[in-house]
Amino acid sequence: MKSTGGVLGPVSAYFGTVESQGRGSLYLHMLIWLKHAPPSHEIETLLKTNHFREKVRRYIAANFRAYLPGFKTEETIKAIRSEDSVTWCRPPKPDSPNYDTLVTELERRIARLKQLHKCEVRRCLVPDKQGYY
């Protein structure tokens, strides 16, 4: 089978390494070089234009976020189903009639299991010399 690109477009090269988290789960660090991507000095110039900045803003808004609906309180978070196998399941088929609902539910279940952060003293809450966090 021949690849025709992906969510980022055609790739000219990549490098990745797998690392283990403290909880024992694996995650990937990766660098990807895209074909036809402008060099860094050109990107610096492009970022000074409103048109390009708006394209970057739209891309970030469509693909990254720090909040999902349903994660308001500890009780609402615990009400979301949590299961270890969710990160290994197949995503819903895009042609499913209720695809948007299925994807939203899957995203919540994955975030519930793998992406929640609870601040802990001396882990992320490190006091300064005056005892402030």
Residues of the chain short of pLDDT 70, as ranges, are 1-5, 22-24, 87, 114-117
pTM of the model: 0.48
Is 3 inside any structural domain? no
Q: Which residue has the tokens 């539910």?
A: 105
**44, 89: one domain:** no
Concatenating the DSSP letter of every residue in 35-72 gives TTPPPHHHHHHHTTSHHHHHHHHHHHHHH--S--TT-S
**Residue 88 pLDDT:** 72
The dihedral through the CA atoms of 94, 88, 101, 29 has a sign that is negative
Is 1 inside any structural domain? no
Helix (H, G, I), strand (E, B) or coil at 8: coil
Name which of 28, 35, 119 is nearest 74 in CA terms: 119
**Residue 23 pLDDT:** 65
Q: What range defines the domain where residue 131 resides?
A: 71-133
**76, 111: one domain:** yes
**Residue 52 pLDDT:** 95
